[in-house]
């Protein structure tokens, strides 16, 4: 069950020539693929590009009608390997995944693909995950394009530019026999707009055609001596062909006057930020007309030397707007200008930050600083002054506003796993714990603080290999079901079996690849008509040689979870011990059940919904339950009791009724203040009568108690 359904939106993929397409960036990319005769598509989900896989899955009927093969690949490596279909056949293929981690996983396949070269257009649609909204280590994809010589496209973030670049990207790939990367940033993925659609085009040469007439060419096999010749082919033929195509088809764009004292060279994806900064400086209007010449690199690799030198001609200074580090583009431009003997002052990271996302303020300040150095006469008077205006100080709110680090969702089935681990730690002491990529990585944060490293998707147990040396305490590693099927079965579980690892591995099975949007995996319980699901993780683990396996099908049973962890850490068995902790992702469960529940209530059907609470009269206010749970719905409430200064625990309306708080309190032998109340919607007549009777009896008892209470105010 994906995070979001695009069942309605995909109908726009049927629009034909002359129709106006309105929608989001990801949907526009899919439409562009179909308009340009793609023969096969695949990929692996990951922000900010996850929804592209969801769109493709929801649009499967349209793809089938056109004869387009779609596959949700097991990993980025599998997706990149799929592009091998374009090596010998004139089939256009596209795959998508998250960068740069996706590029890291796919690097072997992509390096071989680039070496062999392609016949049909091959495109990697890469969700560039750089900046403050990212969930990964901060690296750029540019270096990978340079390493393996893949042409890197970075279109301006508007729908017409993105759609145009999809078509030109395929053509560039075919003209230079080189795969291309279409890099779309977070804003590009979710930007909305419109463009004039074209008819969808079935692939001129399909995968069925390829199967009917197989081809092979040993010159495209990556083996010596051909691999040496392929490297020469890159430099002598493919590179010049790519530059010639980029120049002839004007893939890079010029805006503003044809001449000028200064100019700005900008990555296509940064164009909107530059124009906005120029608008605020009074040097561009709302439609984008600029007084400062702009050279927009919709293709950031390779650079086209002649275009660059033409743009620099007659200018005394250039600013390179490049997000992130190292400054690959700036260094390349500096080398090109030096070799050509051009005396142009080059600015970039001297006025813009070396690392980090180029926010609106940073862009404004950087371009302002460049203009002050190179063309102060263009600046407004107040910015031209020696003592530049001082912006209002941003107030420091750290003391007033508490930090809100990422964490588990309300009702998350992974929360009780870490609560149980914390309870075991109290009994057995701290253990070496390694985490993995996925929701369970939030366990490294307060209040749990379990797991101090993450080395890659599915590599949690492998990252603990150095600690499997038979020490006093066993190491614990955590891996999710998504990471397990992505890379973990062989690289982590198989590795542990082969090396007879005396460690504990916790496989968190929440039925989906939850961290990437709730897509199904092999072990999903969902009945997916297009995929094969329902394959137990335990069977796969047993198949690679694990014999000590414990399956827990209800992670909210904290006492049981604690007991199994204790057993794994203290038993005499010498070998990998695997605990499979299974419960459905609460977000996906709520997405499925909440509409059904609301419909039942509207239709007048009887329905019970559990609600949990804390009895304020019993709660001691020590907040141990919060330290062992951390649920967002478990908060604090001050009492109107002058004899009780400390706030007590309180469960707010965001509670989803998972019961974890009560289970934790029971397992830790905390105060018995938690209670469960079942709310009955549309009760029967007998229930309604009994409820009224109970309410009257309770009200009478309350009045009698109030009457007997001493009132010192009356003397």
11-38 b/e (C-beta count within 10 Å ≥ 16 → b):
ebbebeeeeebebbbbbbbbbbbbbbbb
Distances in whole angstroms, Cα of residue 75 to Cα of each of 69, 85, 505: 17, 17, 22
Return d(Cα 640, Cα 285) in angstroms, integer.
58
C-beta separation of 329 from 308 below 8 A: no
Return d(Cα 353, Cα 350) in angstroms, integer.
7
> Which helix (DSSP H) or strand (DSSP E) does residue 479 occupy?
strand 476-480
pLDDT on residue 303: 97
> Which helix (DSSP H) or strand (DSSP E) does residue 506 occupy?
strand 504-509
Return d(Cα 43, Cα 38) in angstroms, integer.
14
pLDDT on residue 387: 55
User: How many of the other CB atoms lie within 10 Å of CB of 692?
Assistant: 10
pLDDT on residue 527: 85
Return d(Cα 507, Cα 577) in angstroms, integer.
11
Which pair of structure tokens corresponds to residue 629? 């749970």
Which domains does the chain show, CATH number per domain? 16-248 (3.40.50.970), 253-384 (3.40.50.920), 415-588 (3.40.50.970), 606-705 (3.30.70.20)
Return d(Cα 464, Cα 55) in angstroms, integer.
37
Selection from 442, 449, 435 nearest residue 505 by Cα: 435
For the chain (length 715 residues), average pLDDT per consecutive 10? Answer: 72 95 94 97 89 89 95 93 96 93 93 96 93 80 94 96 98 98 90 95 94 89 90 95 97 94 96 95 91 97 96 96 95 96 95 92 94 90 58 70 75 92 92 89 86 84 85 90 92 94 94 83 87 93 96 94 95 94 90 89 89 85 80 84 80 85 77 84 89 90 82 61
C-beta separation of 627 from 670 below 8 A: no
* 446: DSSP letter: T
Angle ∠(159,8,599) on CA atoms, nearest 5: 140
The tens digit of pLDDT for each residue in 73-114 reads: 999 999 999 999 999 999 999 999 988 889 999 999 999 999
Return d(Cα 44, Cα 458) in angstroms, integer.
14
Return d(Cα 520, Cα 254) in angstroms, integer.
45
Task: Give backbone dihedrals phi and psi of 507, rounded to 5 degrees, phi first.
Answer: -95, 115
Selection from 488, 517, 487, 376 nearest residue 57 by Cα: 517
C-beta separation of 415 from 443 below 8 A: no
Return d(Cα 144, Cα 104) in angstroms, integer.
9
pLDDT on residue 662: 77
Which pair of structure tokens corresponds to residue 257? 């006057």
Distances in whole angstroms, Cα of residue 312 to Cα of each of 296, 307, 316, 346: 13, 9, 8, 10
C-beta separation of 525 from 584 below 8 A: yes
pLDDT on residue 611: 83
pLDDT on residue 713: 62
pLDDT on residue 471: 75
C-beta separation of 219 from 229 below 8 A: yes
Return d(Cα 668, Cα 666) in angstroms, integer.
5
């Amino acid at each position: 069950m994906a995070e979001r359904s695009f069942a309605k939106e995909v109908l726009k993929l049927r629009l034909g020539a002359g129709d106006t397409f309105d929608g989001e960036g990801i949907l526009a990319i899919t439409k562009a693929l179909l308009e340009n005769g793609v023969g096969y598509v695949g990929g692996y989900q990951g922000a900010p590009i996850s929804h592209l896989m969801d769109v493709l899955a929801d649009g499967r009927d349209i793809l089938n009608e056109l004869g387009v093969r779609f596959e949700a690949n097991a990993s980025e490596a599998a997706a990149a390997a799929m592009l091998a279909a374009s090596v010998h056949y004139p089939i256009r293929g596209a795959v998508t995944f998250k960068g740069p981690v996706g590029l890291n996983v796919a690097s072997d396949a992509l390096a071989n693909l680039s070496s062999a070269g392609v016949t049909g257009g091959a495109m990697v649609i890469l969700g560039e995950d750089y900046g403050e909204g990212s969930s990964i280590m901060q690296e750029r994809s540019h270096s990978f394009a340079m390493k393996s010589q893949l042409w890197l496209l970075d279109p301006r973030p508007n729908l017409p530019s993105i759609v145009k670049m999809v078509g030109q990207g395929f053509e560039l790939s075919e003209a230079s026999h080189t795969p291309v990367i279409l890099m779309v940033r977070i804003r590009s993925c979710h930007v909305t707009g419109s463009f004039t659609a074209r008819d969808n085009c079935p692939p001129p040469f399909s995968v069925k055609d390829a199967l009917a007439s197989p081809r092979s060419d040993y010159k495209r096999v990556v083996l010596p001596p051909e691999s040496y010749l392929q490297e020469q082919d890159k430099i002598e033929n493919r590179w010049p062909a790519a530059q010639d195509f980029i120049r002839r088809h004007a893939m890079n764009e010029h805006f503003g006057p044809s001449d000028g004292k200064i100019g700005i060279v900008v990555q296509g994806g940064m164009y909107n930020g530059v124009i906005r900064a120029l608008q605020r400086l009074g040097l561009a209007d709302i439609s984008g007309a600029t007084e400062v010449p702009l050279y927009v690199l919709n293709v950031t690799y390779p650079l086209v030397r002649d275009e660059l030198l033409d743009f620099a001609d007659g200018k005394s200074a250039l600013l390179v707007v490049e997000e992130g580090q190292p400054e690959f583009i700036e260094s390349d431009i500096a080398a090109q200008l030096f070799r050509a003997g051009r005396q142009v002052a080059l600015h970039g990271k001297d006025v813009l930050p070396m690392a980090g996302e180029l926010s609106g303020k940073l862009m404004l300040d950087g371009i302002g600083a460049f203009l002050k150095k190179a063309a102060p006469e263009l600046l407004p008077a107040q910015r031209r002054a020696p003592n530049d205006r001082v912006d209002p100080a941003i107030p420091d709110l750290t003391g007033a506003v508490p930090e809100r680090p990422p964490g588990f969702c309300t009702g998350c089935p992974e929360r009780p796993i870490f609560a149980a681990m914390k309870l075991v730690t109290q009994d057995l002491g701290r253990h070496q714990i390694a985490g993995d990529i996925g929701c369970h990585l939030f366990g490294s944060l307060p209040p749990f603080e379990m797991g101090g490293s993450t080395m890659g998707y599915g590599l949690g147990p492998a990252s603990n290999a150095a600690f499997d040396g038979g020490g006093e305490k066993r190491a614990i590693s955590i891996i999710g079901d998504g990471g397990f099927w992505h890379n973990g079965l062989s690289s982590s579980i198989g590795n542990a079996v082969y090396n007879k690892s005396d460690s504990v591995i916790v496989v968190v099975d929440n039925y989906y690849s939850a961290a990437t949007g709730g897509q199904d995996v092999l072990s999903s319980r969902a009945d997916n008509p297009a995929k094969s699901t329902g394959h137990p993780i335990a069977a796969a683990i047993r198949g690679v040689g694990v014999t000590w396996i414990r399956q827990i099908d209800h992670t909210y049973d904290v006492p049981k979870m604690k007991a199994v962890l204790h057993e794994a850490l203290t038993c005499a068995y010498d070998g990998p011990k695997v605990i499979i902790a299974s419960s459905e992702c609460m977000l996906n469960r709520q997405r499925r059940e909440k509409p059904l529940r609301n419909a039942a209530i509207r239709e007048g059907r009887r329905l019970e919904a559990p609600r949990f609470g804390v009895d304020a009269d019993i709660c001691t206010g020590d907040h141990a339950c919060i330290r062992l749970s951390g649920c967002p719905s478990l908060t604090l409430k001050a009492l109107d009791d002058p004899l009780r200064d400390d706030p007590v625990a309180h469960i707010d309306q965001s509670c989803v009724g998972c019961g974890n708080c009560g289970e934790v309190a029971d397992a830790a032998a905390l105060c018995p203040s938690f209670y469960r109340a079942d709310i009955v919607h549309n009760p029967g007549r007998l229930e309604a009568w009994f409820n009224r009777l109970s309410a009257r009896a309770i009200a009478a008892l309350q009045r009698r108690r109030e009457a007997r209470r001493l009132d010192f105010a009356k003397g």
